[in-house]
Amino acid sequence: MKILNTKTRRKIISLIFIFAFMFNTLVYGNNRNPSRKNLEDMIDDVAVKRAIPSVLLKSIARVESVYSQFNSDGSPKTNGSSIGLMQVNNRYGGYNSEKLKYDILYNIEAGADVLLNKWSTSSYNSVSSVGNMDPNVLENWYFALWAYNGWSSGNNPNTYGRGRTYQQLIYDTAEIEYGEKINNIDFSYLPKSGKPSRSLTVPTPAYTNSANIVLYEKGDYVMTDGIRGKYHLRDCPAGKYIYEINVMKLGTIIDGPVLQNGYYWYKVCMDGNMEGWIERNWLTRTGDEGHGKYVFDDISFNWARKIIMDLYSEGVIAQASSFNPDCAATKEEFFTFLGRVLENNEVNIPGTNNEENVMNFVDAAEIHPWAVEHIQRVKKLGLLEDYGGELDPLNSLSRKEAAKIIENLFGENKEFDGFDICTTFSDLTQLSQEEIDAVKSAYTNGIMSAKEPGNFCPYDCLTRAEAAALTAKINNKIKEWK
């Protein structure tokens, strides 16, 4: 029996072709690779969450796809069953193929998951391992990188020469493009050809480099996170499963970290009574007992997170969805922080509270409305006299400028009259004597210190996290001063 007549079938077929054409136009026509910088930032974010060395994950993307998720025509970049930016091999269907093709963040997460799986095979002696398998040591990832490309004899440096191995490509990329030198293992431990024994443990090289993995603290609020559908709590680090838990499960860290079998483990309490150990890699920090849930969505892994939250609780920093801690702080932002601190502490400097010509900057119109009253307060107290008639409020604030403002506020520390600040910092020779004196004041008053060993870095701009840290120190100093 014919359910559809010929004319109807033709209409349906035509609609199918039209839909397919529109779908392909939408999919392939609009898919463009983000800039390399944007992709690197995305990889950095995933690496921090997953406790993976960021330089390795970025180098894998560079070697695998030259930072391309899509071809020039907008089609997904594939090579056989390997897909996208991280060239994730989905031959056995462990991931969602469509998301691997079109969702860049998902592809990065899958690449991180693959690397962690390879790391696990090394740490649990399914393939060879390096040293104590501390993931915070870049050199310990040698065999995990080998396995990412397939646990094949072709990546034995004794067979074809080390320059032709996959792991050496990663090392070279890390050094050339990211300035991260990773030292090779001692190849004499490897067989002359073929794959090394699964039970082989090669010593960690004498000279190592830190991966700077972010670790958590007792009392941190955490959430299970990742592309896996379920996770497990164990009775001890790397022990037996005792609970199965879902993604986005909230908990509090009550012990750890403990390094075991290549992972940092934390004991967490979930639902008030369910306790067990889980790998750091599947936990995202969301807050802590001292500050509650973080109101900013981008400070969980930042060194200044508690400082930022302290200033938020005092009303120095206003609530927003993001804080952007690694972005450069503008002058108006820092002066706003400072103005609120001065207001909270009711600071008045005798003889400087001049109501006239408070905002006589030629570029005062550039100041955002939310910053005006705070900059007025800072200006009234005579802290911006060095700017003359132009503030340049939207430009970034250099460290030497911050030092001058600190000197204007606290003055010279008389306890250090005979102290030569140039013996502490070797990079002040290009500064004027007035600027050198400002650096000395900021240093001896305990507000600013070296940015790198032996250097003050006077021309470097403050990040928003650094601006918050300076603001907190100023706040504490004023409270002591009062």
| 191-244 pLDDT tens trace | 998 999 989 999 999 999 999 999 999 999 999 999 988 999 999 999 999 999
Q: What is the pLDDT of residue 1?
A: 36
What is the residue-wise DSSP string for 24-49?
HHHHHHH--PPPHHHHHHHHHHHHHH
Residues whose CB is less than 8 angstroms from the CB of residue 36 and which lie 6 or more positions away in sequence, other chains included: 67
Q: What is the pLDDT of residue 349?
A: 60
Closest listed residue to residue 169, CA positions, set 315, 60, 43: 60
> Could you tell me if 65 and 207 lie in one domain?
yes
Does residue 299 sit within a domain?
A: no
Q: What is the pLDDT of residue 273?
A: 86
Q: What is the pLDDT of residue 482?
A: 64
List the structure tokens of 388.
């003359």
Helices (H), ranges, 272-344: 305-313, 331-344
CA 208 distance to own-chain centroid: 21
For residue 250, report the phi and psi dihedrals to the nearest 5 degrees: -90, 145
> Could you tell me if 199 and 329 lie in one domain?
no
Report the predicted TM-score, pTM, of the whole model to 2 decimal places. 0.85
> Could you tell me if 97 and 21 lie in one domain?
no
> Could you tell me if 75 and 7 lie in one domain?
no
> Could you tell me if 462 and 341 lie in one domain?
yes
Does residue 300 sit within a domain?
A: no
> Could you tell me if 286 and 331 lie in one domain?
no
CA 235, CA 242: separation in Å to the nearest integer? 6
CA 365, CA 355: separation in Å to the nearest integer? 19
Domain count for the chain, please give it.
4
> Could you tell me if 392 and 466 lie in one domain?
yes
Q: What is the pLDDT of residue 481?
A: 73
Q: What is the pLDDT of residue 283?
A: 97
Q: What is the CATH number of the domain that holds 126?
A: 1.10.530
Q: CA of 220: how far to CAs of 69, 321, 333, in Å?
A: 35, 20, 29
Q: What is the pLDDT of residue 22?
A: 44
Domain end, chosen from 240, 263, 293, is at 293
CA 181, CA 153: separation in Å to the nearest integer? 25
Q: Which domain holds residue 5?
A: 1-30
CA 347, CA 343: separation in Å to the nearest integer? 6
> Could you tell me if 238 and 339 lie in one domain?
no
Residue ranges in the chain modelled with pLDDT below 70: 1-29, 161-163, 349-358, 482
Q: What is the pLDDT of residue 164?
A: 82
Is the N-terminal amide bond of 350 cis, ω within 30° of 0?
no
Where does 200-316 show beta strands of DSSP type E? Answer: 201-202, 220-224, 230-234, 241-246, 250-260, 263-270, 274-279, 283-288, 292-293
Cβ(243)–Cβ(252) below 8 Å? no
Does residue 196 sit within a domain?
A: yes
CA 49, CA 417: separation in Å to the nearest integer? 47
CA 78, CA 100: separation in Å to the nearest integer? 10
Does residue 140 sit within a domain?
A: yes
Exposed / middle / buried, residue 382 (Cβ in 10 Å: 0-12, 13-18, 19+): middle
State the residue for tokens 């800072």. Answer: 378
> Could you tell me if 248 and 271 lie in one domain?
yes
> Could you tell me if 279 and 426 lie in one domain?
no
Q: Are strands 283-288 and 82-83 parallel, antiparallel or unpaired?
A: unpaired
Q: CA of 302: how far to CAs of 263, 266, 342, in Å?
A: 21, 19, 26
Q: What is the pLDDT of residue 415?
A: 86
CA 46 distance to own-chain centroid: 8
List the structure tokens of 204.
């960690």
State the residue for tokens 């493009």. Answer: 177
Does residue 298 sit within a domain?
A: no
> Could you tell me if 100 and 181 lie in one domain?
yes
> Could you tell me if 314 and 361 lie in one domain?
yes
